[in-house]
């Protein structure tokens, strides 16, 4: 935790106060990057547009074969493809009824969805993520949140 001291005037007195500032991650950490490079989907829940919906952000890595077909990433780090990993980003909202009733979800069931693919490299992914979240530390493997897709 970062602590800063600030002086401010109250009436005719000056007061010094320690103000806590939590560190905000605007970069993916090594664990998150390695998860993405080994095919683990990262997700977080965001604030929904209304109380009848839930909103999620997910990111996942993939690569292409020599014929241009999409290939899922292996569960081991492969140095041969590190420079050829692409990412997809999905931000969607879904009715809370799907959670209450334990219904299966398809893309047709989403209330709203933003989808972007072919994001090449971690730096480009971080730029896109910055449009949705301020602190990248909220991104966890999807099984830690209620992401249904």
- Per-residue pLDDT tens over the stretch 116-148: 999 999 999 999 999 999 999 999 999 988 777
Geometric angle at alpha carbon 83, from 79 and 87, rounded to 5°: 110
11 has a pLDDT exceeding 70: no
Instruction: List Cα–Cα distances, 26 to 123, 130, 147, in angstroms.
Output: 11, 7, 22
17 has a pLDDT exceeding 90: no
pLDDT tens, position by position, 41-99: 999 999 999 999 999 999 999 999 889 999 899 888 777 777 889 999 999 999 999 88
pLDDT the model gives residue 22: 53
21 has a pLDDT exceeding 70: no
Enter the pTM of the model. Answer: 0.77
Give CA torsion, residues 133, 90, 111, 55, to 10 deg: -30
């Amino acid at each position: 935790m970062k602590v800063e001291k600030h002086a401010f005037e109250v009436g005719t007195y000056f007061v010094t106060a320690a103000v806590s500032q939590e560190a905000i991650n605007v970069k993916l950490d090594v664990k998150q990057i390695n998860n993405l490079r080994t095919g683990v989907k990262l997700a977080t829940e965001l604030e929904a547009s209304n109380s009848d919906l839930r909103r999620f952000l997910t990111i996942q890595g993939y690569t292409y074969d020599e014929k241009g077909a999409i290939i899922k990433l292996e569960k081991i780090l492969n140095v041969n493809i590190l420079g050829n990993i692409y990412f997809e980003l999905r931000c969607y909202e879904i009715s809370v009824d799907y959670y209450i009733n334990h219904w299966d979800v398809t893309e047709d069931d989403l209330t709203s969805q933003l989808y972007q693919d072919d994001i090449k490299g971690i730096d480009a992914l971080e730029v896109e993520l910055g449009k949705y979240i301020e602190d990248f530390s909220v991104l966890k493997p999807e099984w830690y949140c209620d992401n249904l897709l």
